[in-house]
Amino acid sequence: MTEINKEGSARPSSGRAFLSRTEKTPRCTPFWRGITVPPLKAHIIFWSLLVLGFALDLWTKKAVFDFLEHQPNNRYSIINGFLQLVMMENIGAAFGIASGQRYLLAAFSIVALIVIFGIFLYSPTERKLIHVALGLFAAGVCGNLYDRLFNNRGAVRDFIDVVYWPGKHWPAFNVADSLLCIGVGLMIIACIFTDKSPPEHVQQQK
């Protein structure tokens, strides 16, 4: 449809102008379209670290607890006055937080795993350090989640005791806790020090 203005020239009708503006309106993109499929190397790194770390945590817990059952006072000194193995069960989170809240802590662990898997799907494929960090972190979460679900009273088995000052003991921890800390540290390093410039093929296209 064409309208005639006062000068006698033709111009598009307001209806067509409205349609053209409507056609240019961006549509919302479904969230699942933003999910990328990580390359094979990323899957190998992530899942290998998750499975190996999880298995290592469960094996060390069982092996150390079986060993300490036959030791005096269920303790064994590795470095006198600094490092020893102990039999401890923690029914809370780190530093005894949320003590006795077995299923609440298990739910938090499950949510954490979902978040980790989501980050893995959205993470840049070039950053292998992020995949390493996520794999270690997921292994640590799975290790402690297993204890919360299947161990007596939902207690997490800890056995590493460190004396950081004469008479001062750091809260006992396990391999899963170590994997969690290493994963967080690597993630911080990856976020701070990794080059954020686009890959070379993207720069060439520009």
Q: Of the residues 57, 147, 161, 177, which is catalytic?
A: 177
**Residue 93: per-residue pLDDT:** 74
Beta strands in the chain (DSSP E): 2-4, 10-12, 75-79, 83-90, 156-165, 168-173
Tell me the C-alpha distance between 64 and 59, whole Å: 8
- β-sheet bridge partners, residue 156: 90
**Cβ neighbourhood burial of 30 (10 Å; 0-12, 13-18, 19+):** exposed
Average pLDDT per consecutive 10 residues, the chain (206 residues; last block may be shorter): 55 52 49 65 94 98 97 94 94 70 89 94 78 96 95 91 91 96 94 64 48
Q: Of the residues 57, 158, 161, 195, which is catalytic?
A: 158
**CB-CB neighbours of 93 under 10 Å:** 17
Q: In angstroms, what is the C-alpha Rg of the chain?
A: 28
Non-local (6+) Cβ contacts of 124 within 8 A are: 130
**Residue 13: per-residue pLDDT:** 53
Predicted TM-score (pTM) of this structure: 0.75
Is 57 labeled as catalytic in the residue annotation? no
Is 158 labeled as catalytic in the residue annotation? yes
